[in-house]
A = this chain, B = another copy of it.
Amino acid sequence: MASEEKIVLYPVGYVKSKYVNKGNRDIISQIVIKNELIETLQGIEDFSHIFVLFYFDRISPEKKSKLKLHPKGRADLPLVGTLGSRSMLHPNPIGLTLVEIIKVEENILTVKGLDAYDDTPVLDIKPYDPEGDAAVNVRVPDWWNKI
């Protein structure tokens, strides 16, 4: 790949969580934003929901190069491209999860529903836009409704 294509990012903070169970969307965790970025949080408590963009930092290079998969590893579901799934095995392993803000104290956001492990680097936070982020007339594949 051409070196000029390289995109270098640094975490804005890290997750603090006891998250282990992939199904647990009620989990409460913290996002600890770096001290030097504390001002970037001003006013964020006025939003009820945010998207958290994070980096799956524990994926082997071999898994990262996967192009297709069976959703949830289930052989009874069709083989689909990684970009056509919400698996973490995307070419760039970025997680995107909508969470509820429980509270904001100094540089610590307490959130509900973040499916990221302890110490996961956080790349970005986007306040939820009730118009732009809500799709209407949504269509999903058949296999989606089986998981």
Taking beta carbons and an 8 Å cutoff, which residues of A are in contact with B?
Answer: 1, 5-12, 25, 33, 37, 39-44, 46-49, 51, 53, 55, 57, 67-68, 78-86, 90-92, 94, 96-98, 100, 121, 123-130, 132-135, 137-142
Contact status of A67 and B39, CB under 8 A, knowing A5-B121, A139-B47: yes
Q: Give which listed residue, B92, B129, B133, B140, contacts A124 with CB less than 8 A.
A: B92
Please, which residue of chain B has its CB at the minimum distance from the CB of A11? Answer: B5
Stoichiometry, copies per complex: 2
Which 5 residue pairs are nearest across A and B when measured between Cβ atoms? A46-B141, A42-B81, A44-B84, A48-B139, A43-B80
A124 and B68 CA atoms in complex are apart in Å by 15
Please, which residue of chain B has its CB at the minimum distance from the CB of A139? Answer: B48
Closest-CB distance, A62 to chain B (whole angstroms): 16
Question: CB distance B5 to A40 under 8 Å?
Answer: no
Closest-CB distance, A105 to chain B (whole angstroms): 14
Question: CB distance A81 to B8 under 8 Å?
Answer: no
Closest-CB distance, A98 to chain B (whole angstroms): 6
A125 and B129 CA atoms in complex are apart in Å by 18
**What residues of B have a CB within 8 angstroms of the CB of A37 in the complex?**
67, 83, 91
Question: CB distance A40 to B94 under 8 Å?
Answer: no
Among A11, A25, A51, A124: residue with most chain B CB under 10 A: A124
